[in-house]
Structure 1
Amino acid sequence: MPWIANATDTTFAAVAEQSALPVVVDLWATWCGPCRMVSPALEQVARELAGNVKLVKVDVDAAPTLSRRFDVKAVPTLLIMHDGKVLARKSGAAPASALRQWADTTLAGIR
């Protein structure tokens, strides 16, 4: 699925910041229950918006530099980025419908 990718401290620039598409970044952790709950909802939104947005998943425990850079205080932390800039930020789990509305509202400003 080219619209869903994983990134690390070393690959984030190429995978997310240099993406031609806007990127939803999921900063998550393997031990996080809400992260496991929101993951299928994010993947659903990514499938619905395939070709218009890319989902990039970052395990904060495996990517401490990104965790510090984005000042992650709670997981999941979600970002919407475009051209390497953070356009929106959201913490916590949410259903697919709320995530889709958040993405649509944020992305409307760049379309």
Structure 2
Amino acid sequence: MSADETLHVTCPACAGVNRVLAARLGKEPVCGRCRAPLLPGRPLELDGPGLERFLARNDLPVVVDFWSPSCGPCRMMAPQFEQAARTLAPGVRLAKCDISAAQDAATRHAIRSVPTMVLFRAGREAARISGALPAGDIVAWVRSVL
């Protein structure tokens, strides 16, 4: 992506779509509507409908961790996923989707086991990996796919 390219970035607070120059991604842009940080550097919690809206309206790559609160490996990986979000920001967004609360999203994305991470580009699945991973492996996997 070139520095003068304009990207659509969805606000995690109000779901508004913002146009941001690629060169300004690292300068902590805020939403033009609600003034919330657009790229907070932590995983976003998304429900089923919110996930679909977020994926459809975001030009940045998005890695979604499909997880369940009853899954031990999912809970163990949560801090690793947060650390990976800080490392990959601002060029990649990370989000979490609780499949026990968003079963429709799990079905739509053919999630068979948790944790499963799916990388989306332009709203479409580009890659997936299952199993709990340390932060360094999450970052390496994302960078290898991009």
TM-score, with structure 1 as normaliser: 0.89
Shift of 1:17: 3.0
Shift of 1:16: 2.8
Higher relative contact order (CA 8 A, sep 6+): 1
Matches of 1:38 and 1:17, distance apart in 2: 26
Matches of 1:78 and 1:7, distance apart in 2: 14
Q: Trace 1:1-111 onto structure 2 (pairs within 5 A).
A: 2-3=40-41, 4-107=43-146
Aligned residues of 1:6 and 1:57 also touching (Cα < 8 A): yes
Cα displacement string for residues 16-69 of structure 1 (whole angstroms, at most 9, x for unaligned residues): 332221001000000100001111111111101111111110000110111101
* Equivalences, count: 107
Q: Percent identity?
A: 38
What is the alpha-carbon root mean square deviation over aligned residues? 1.3
SS at match of 2:112: coil
Aligned residues of 1:16 and 1:56 also touching (Cα < 8 A): no
Unaligned runs of 5+ in 2: 1-38
Matches of 1:31 and 1:38, distance apart in 2: 13
Letter in 1 for 2:40: P
Aligned residues of 1:17 and 1:81 also touching (Cα < 8 A): no
Matches of 1:23 and 1:84, distance apart in 2: 8
TM-score, with structure 2 as normaliser: 0.69
Letter in 2 for 1:99: I
Unaligned runs of 5+ in 1: none
Deviation >3 Å, runs of 4+: none
**Rg comparison, structure with higher value:** 2
